[in-house]
Chain A
């Protein structure tokens, strides 16, 4: 596609449920990032994929968070047993190496 696509745009889930957030990066971009943006806050790095290398998971806040990237393209961020503090906008970005990142419109997750 022409840009980074994220789905769903908005997600409301009950506390304790699992959620999956999807990111479809720009075709050909080898790098993919997930960020979390809490209300009024900056961007918190979560995880980074680069080509076929092992992902950099150093930003994941707990073992309830995981992500995968299949075939070097689409990525899924999974949050298990969601908590209210997980409520945030989850942004995905992709880029070529050493180039600027292009962002999707994000998924607004609300845990009730």
Chain B
């Protein structure tokens, strides 16, 4: 079964600074997707960014970018120019390429990001 590990239960960053959230995963698959989701106090899980494993280029969405290291099975999220609205729980997630099922979408335990004004 796939596992996703987020080793940082909590991170704190000053507003306008850059922060990197770590994620590692374990899989025997060669094709898969990786995601970062954000969960603010409203509870709604919001997709931040996605990465297809077959793409070597790191995904970028505005201030959010990833560092995808397939050989190392590492998928970190970088948030540039941190804003107060970025404060939330961040979950790293894995999905195998085809289908779903119990291991179709696996989440890490999350990192609580605090933005200090």
Contact = CB atoms under 8 A, between A and B. Distances in A.
Contact of B44 (A45, A59, A103): A103
B90 to A, nearest CB: 11
Interface in A44-89: 45, 48, 50, 56, 58-59, 89
Nearest to B92: A42
Contacts, number: 63
B104 A48 contact: yes
Chain B interface, >50% SS class: loop
Nearest to B110: A42
B98 A105 contact: no
B109 A101 contact: no
A100 to B, nearest CB: 5
B97 A98 contact: yes
B47 interface: yes
Nearest to A101: B105
Interface of B: 33, 35, 37, 42-47, 50, 91, 95, 97-102, 104-110
